[in-house]
């Protein structure tokens, strides 16, 4: 049974781990086996938006491109929310066009995220990566059809145990993002919290992977 890493910036290419490696359009590497590609809100450059979107659209139909992302909204950066929303909406519509799931970066803008998803009537699966918030927000996101992925904050913040345990098995993923934690460490703690074996957790995540990524 494989591990699945929903979101990482480090391509390790290990046989026992299926990695969804984050790629940016302006530095695309076609040697990476399975990837997502998107414009992160931190890296929006107005002069480059058109060409970045064109590259994303050229990659989305490809088999190795499993998802669009990471993309999203971040209220703690200086780039205007109007520009962030415009770029985000364009990416969501591309994901819908090519029927690819979306990996989301969201900071302090979850209400806007839900509103945009519903306004655009997005039907493809959307995964919030690096979830670290409370049970109330988790429930709101689940009620609006989102999946939640947990990573370094699960290991760093014991208070997330109850939030993690409240997530239905069919709506959860695990990841490492840019942290030094291994995906094995994340799975080990998550399995401990769920009071199941790592193999049992691998099966749950594998089922979710097959559902979300049509594998």
List residues forming the annotated binding site for a divalent metal cation. Answer: 70, 105, 129, 177
Q: Counting Cβ atoms within 10 Å, is residue 87 exposed (0-12), middle (13-18) or buried (19+)?
A: buried
CA atoms within 13 A on the CB side of 154: 32
Rg of the chain in Å (alpha carbons)? 16
Q: How far apart are CA 41 and CA 52, in angstroms?
A: 13
Q: How far apart are CA 148 and CA 214, in angstroms?
A: 18
Q: How far apart are CA 206 and CA 215, in angstroms?
A: 10
List residues forming the annotated binding site. Answer: 70, 105, 129, 177
Q: Among 91, 90, 135, 82, which residue's Cα sits nearest to residue 109?
A: 82
């Amino acid at each position: 049974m494989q591990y699945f890493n929903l979101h990482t910036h480090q391509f390790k290419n290990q046989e026992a781990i299926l990695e969804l490696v984050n790629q940016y359009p302006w530095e695309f590497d076609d040697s990476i086996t399975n990837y997502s590609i998107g414009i992160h809100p931190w890296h929006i450059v107005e002069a480059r938006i058109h060409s970045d979107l064109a590259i994303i659209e050229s990659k989305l139909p490809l088999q190795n491109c499993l998802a669009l992302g990471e993309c999203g909204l971040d209220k703690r950066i200086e780039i205007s929310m109007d520009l962030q929303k415009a770029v985000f909406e364009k990416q969501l519509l591309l994901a819908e066009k090519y029927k690819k799931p979306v990996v989301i970066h969201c900071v302090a803008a979850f209400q806007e995220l839900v509103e945009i998803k519903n306004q655009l009537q997005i039907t493809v699966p959307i995964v919030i990566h690096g979830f670290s918030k409370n049970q109330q927000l988790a429930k709101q996101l689940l009620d609006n059809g989102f999946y939640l992925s947990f990573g370094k904050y699960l290991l760093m913040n014991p208070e997330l145990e109850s939030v993690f345990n409240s997530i239905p098995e069919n709506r959860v993923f695990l990841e490492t993002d840019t942290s030094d934690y291994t995906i094995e460490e994340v799975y080990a703690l998550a399995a401990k919290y769920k009071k199941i074996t790592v193999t049992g957790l691998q099966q749950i995540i594998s089922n979710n992977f097959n559902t979300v990524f049509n594998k």
